């Protein structure tokens, strides 16, 4: 019975493709691309959610201090983060080019890149808390636990699917996340 149902489903899908004048193989390939894109989005959100959960559980006082910085001094964090990203970016590019002939310079470029990515990924936790709290306040949701941070992470993650405006907002918050390392509370 299951085989008959499967055969009828495949037959109807391919005949529908032929009726529309499209190649059924092309339609299947497009469907697989969409499905894999959805699974990629879900998988990357789960990685971000796990990271936010682990850092929030291991370093709660640090996350609270950095969250306070993001809430009160986000413009200052953005300015210092932009300076750090531009300066480190220039150093990384120059050292990477020099590293083609002198390997120690390439290793230093890799270390600087890892430092920048670490600052971003740890600062991102505080940013998700702030965004989650803002969303919770607009929804009149009186929660301050990890679910708020995960809601903020989800909102920021979904912004990646809005081409220009979403990317600009994410870039702003990513630079703020780097800047939280420089600004003191």
- The three-state DSSP-derived secondary structure of 105-165 is HHHHHHHHHHHHHHHHHHHHHHHHHHHHHHHHHHCCCCCCCHHHHHHHHHHHHHHCCCCCH
Percent pLDDT > 90 in the chain is: 57
- Please, what is the average pLDDT of the chain? 86
Residue 61: strand, helix, or coil: helix
Residue 19 lies in a domain: no
- Residue 101 exposure: Cα atoms within 13 Å on the Cβ side: 3
Residue 1 lies in a domain: no
pLDDT given for residue 10 in this prediction: 65
| Helix, strand, coil share of the chain (percent; to 5) | 85, 0, 15
Greater confidence (145 vs 45) lies with 45
Look at the chain and report how many structural domains it folds into. 1
pLDDT given for residue 125 in this prediction: 93
- Asked if 62 contacts 167 with a C-beta cutoff of 8 angstroms, the reply is no
Is pTM beyond 0.85? Reply is: no
pLDDT at 17 over 80: no
pLDDT given for residue 2 in this prediction: 64
pLDDT given for residue 161 in this prediction: 86
37 — pLDDT class (breaks 50, 70, 90): confident
**Kindly report the CA angle at 169 between 161 and 54, in degrees rounded to 5?**
80
Please give the residue range of the domain that contains residue 132.
45-179
Residue 9 lies in a domain: no
What average pLDDT does range 110-137 have in this prediction? 93
Residue 38 lies in a domain: no
Kindly tell me the sign of the dihedral angle through the C-alpha atoms of 115, 120, 125, 126.
positive
Distance CA 126, CA 65 (A): 9
- Asked if 182 contacts 84 with a C-beta cutoff of 8 angstroms, the reply is yes
Distance CA 93, CA 29 (A): 38
């Amino acid at each position: 019975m299951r085989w008959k149902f499967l055969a009828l489903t495949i037959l109807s899908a391919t005949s529908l493709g032929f009726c529309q004048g499209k190649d059924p193989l092309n339609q299947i390939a497009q469907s697989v691309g969409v499905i894999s894109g959805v699974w990629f989005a879900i998988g990357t959100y789960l990685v971000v959610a796990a990271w936010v959960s682990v850092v929030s559980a291991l370093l709660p006082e640090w996350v609270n201090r950095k969250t306070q910085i993001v809430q009160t001094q986000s413009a200052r964090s953005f300015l210092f983060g932009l300076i750090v990203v531009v300066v480190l970016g220039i150093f990384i590019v120059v050292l990477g080019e020099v590293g083609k002939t002198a390997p120690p310079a390439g290793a230093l470029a890799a270390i600087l890149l890892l430092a920048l990515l670490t600052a971003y990924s740890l600062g991102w936790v505080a940013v998700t808390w702030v965004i989650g709290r803002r969303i919770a306040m607009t929804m009149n949701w009186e929660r301050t636990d990890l679910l708020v941070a995960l809601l903020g992470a989800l909102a920021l993650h979904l912004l990646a699917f809005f081409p220009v405006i979403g990317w600009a907002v994410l870039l702003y918050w990513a630079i703020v996340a780097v800047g939280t390392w420089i600004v003191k509370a």
